[in-house]
Amino acid sequence: MSSKETLLNGRYRLVAQQGSGGMAVIYKATDLALSRTVAVKILRPSLTNDSDFLKRFRQEARNVANLSHPNIVTVHDVGQDGNTHYIVMEYVDGTDLKNLIRSEAPFPIDRALSITIKICAGVGYAHRAGLVHADVKPQNVLVTKSDNVKVTDFGIAQALSATQPRSRQKIVWGSPHYFSPEQAQGEPPTPASDVYAIGIVMFEMLTGKLPFAGTDQQELAMAHIRETPPNASDFNPNVPVHLDRILQKVMSKEPASRYRTADQLGRILIAYRRQGQVTTDQVPEVPHEDTSSGTEATLPPTPGPGYVEPDASSGYRPAPPSEPSVQAPVSYSNSGVTTDAYTNASYRSPATTPSMSPVPSQPYQPPRAPDVMIQSRYRAAEPPQQLDMVTLVLAFLAFIAVVLLIPLWIAVYQAWMG
């Protein structure tokens, strides 16, 4: 932009370019009215003559402005200065996840889990508001120096209830390396499409590589549709087999085979991470277990399936208990397959965010994640007490009494039959 255009509507002074994407350029700017640093997203001039694109651009501002979550970039304002269309957002002092992957991947398991859980928290909140991000990728995830995560660029996000299906099918949404098989086939994105993209982002953090490759967009699309994703452990032997299985489910070809929303995936990863931190000494004693059989100590009763333990680092926080719970149940099985009831879940606005089950009176233990082995405490069985002489004598007398009674029972029987 020229020097005359560095001040938008007399309020936002552009300082430096921070990044660029397919439809916009991001600038660090100063809000002169409020004396604060902001980020300004300016639509590329080549797209300002497209009325449909401008409509989507303005829709993005309206959709995201209604989202208030610690893992979503806050939108402050939207405006137009001449032929320049822009959105004003909070400024995040950090870098995008793609740059971190290029310089630091593969990430440690715990760090990859932590970042993915925060992405799920932000995207899951949008899902509950009826929005699909449709372009989840590392470039759209901002990470601060303390590893806090902010999901940004809902540039092609859509309100599920307001978008016409026919018009959606004409558009291939997303980025080729990260979009889902249904997006590759031109179908409209769903929350399960975002889950697929989050899985690819996590795979990239764990391995430093993408699961699919191609020389052009068509080859990439066919890879997403036809090829089986590799295991992350093939590239990084430190990836546990159980985490590999979760990733395989997340990157399933059929949307119905994945976790249906980012919230659901986030809960699975939280449970997996917490179970991975359990050690033998941390397993609570069971006061009434059968010590004679040496059975495994069992976990205390768990709260309802929609419950998420407060976790400041993950961005998941339970809603006030006065709100009704609409979370679909999640169940776990030893086969590693998680079943759920998210087939036709209704989505609600942020103002009516689904609440979680109340915290139980006893310490909370999360439900078992698929195929996650837990080290448990065993108690040695007490040696059986030795029989004393009195017990032996009494047993012998009882045996003699039974033997002597046998002729009497035979005589009674013969008399009755005669």
Do 115 and 101 contact (CB within 8 A), yes or no?
A: no
Element of type H or E holding 246: helix 241-250
Element of type H or E holding 224: helix 217-226
Alpha-carbon span 250 to 257, nearest angstrom: 8
Active site residue 135: yes
**159: how many CB neighbours lie within 10 A of its CB?**
14
Using CB atoms within 10 Å of the CB of residue 171, give its burial: 0 to 12 exposed, 13 to 18 middle, 19+ buried. middle
Q: How many CA atoms lie within 13 A of 333 on its CB side?
A: 6
Do 126 and 157 contact (CB within 8 A), yes or no?
A: yes
Cβ burial 272-300 (10 Å sphere, 16+ → b, else e): bbbbbebeeeebeebeebeeeeeeebebe
Structure-token pair, residue 50: 């497209």
Alpha-carbon span 64 to 75, nearest angstrom: 6
**Candidates 52, 77, 93, 135; catalytic one:** 135
Cβ burial 116-151 (10 Å sphere, 16+ → b, else e): bbbbbbbbbbbbbbbbbbbbbbbbbbbbeeeebbbb
Q: What are phi and psi of 241, to 5 degrees?
A: -65, -35
What are the catalytic residues? 135
